[in-house]
């Protein structure tokens, strides 16, 4: 209880004085302009990220679709490339190259989709933090 009384006495003893001058207003205006500049910069950055992410997503969908259509429309019996190996891993790889290419393209598309969703969530989180700050 004594500590509270001591702190209260300290606050009551202080007599702040406020100058009504243009210097204070100039500093305040300058700081507010700086805050507004940072806020606009962050909004521009978020907008640019969103545009780049949408463009990457569209390009990925188009490239993945073209690759899958090309793989599925070509004849199934010949492999994608021919290796003159009589036996072993290379022969198996050449015979199953179409399936392996399809699996790799599918895995790449899944990875890119997950990365896209993760980046969208990061952008939404950045927006939420900006709104909380404002």
Residue 3: per-residue pLDDT:
67
Residue 20, in any domain of the structure:
no
The first and second tokens of residue 61, run together, are 């969908």
Buried b (16+ CB within 10 A) or exposed e, 63-100: ebeebeeebeeeeeeebeeeeeeeeeeeeeebeebbee
Residue 32, in any domain of the structure:
no
The structural domain count of the chain equals: 1
Is the separation of the CB atoms in 91 and 83 below 8 Å? yes
Residue 28, in any domain of the structure:
no
Residue 121, in any domain of the structure:
yes
pTM (2 decimals)? Answer: 0.46
Residue 1: per-residue pLDDT:
56
Residue 124, in any domain of the structure:
yes
Residue 96, in any domain of the structure:
yes
Residue 67, in any domain of the structure:
yes
Per run of 10 residues, the mean pLDDT along the chain (length 134 residues) is 72 70 81 86 82 79 79 68 71 78 80 81 78 72
Residue 19, in any domain of the structure:
no
- Domain of residue 98 covers 38-133
Residue 102: per-residue pLDDT:
77
Residue 29: per-residue pLDDT:
86
């Amino acid at each position: 209880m004594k500590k509270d009384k001591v702190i209260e006495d300290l606050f009551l003893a202080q007599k702040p004085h406020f100058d009504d001058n243009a210097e204070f207003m100039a500093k305040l205006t300058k700081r507010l302009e700086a805050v507004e500049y940072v806020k606009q910069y962050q909004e521009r950055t978020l907008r640019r990220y969103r545009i780049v992410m949408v463009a990457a997503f569209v390009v990925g969908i188009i490239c993945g679709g073209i690759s899958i259509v090309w793989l599925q429309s070509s004849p199934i019996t010949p492999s994608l490339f021919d290796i003159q190996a009589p036996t072993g891993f290379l022969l198996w790889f050449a015979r199953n190259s179409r399936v392996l290419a399809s699996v790799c393209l599918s895995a790449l598309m899944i990875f890119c989709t997950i990365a896209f969703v993760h980046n969208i969530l990061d952008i939404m989180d950045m927006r939420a933090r900006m709104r909380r700050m404002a």
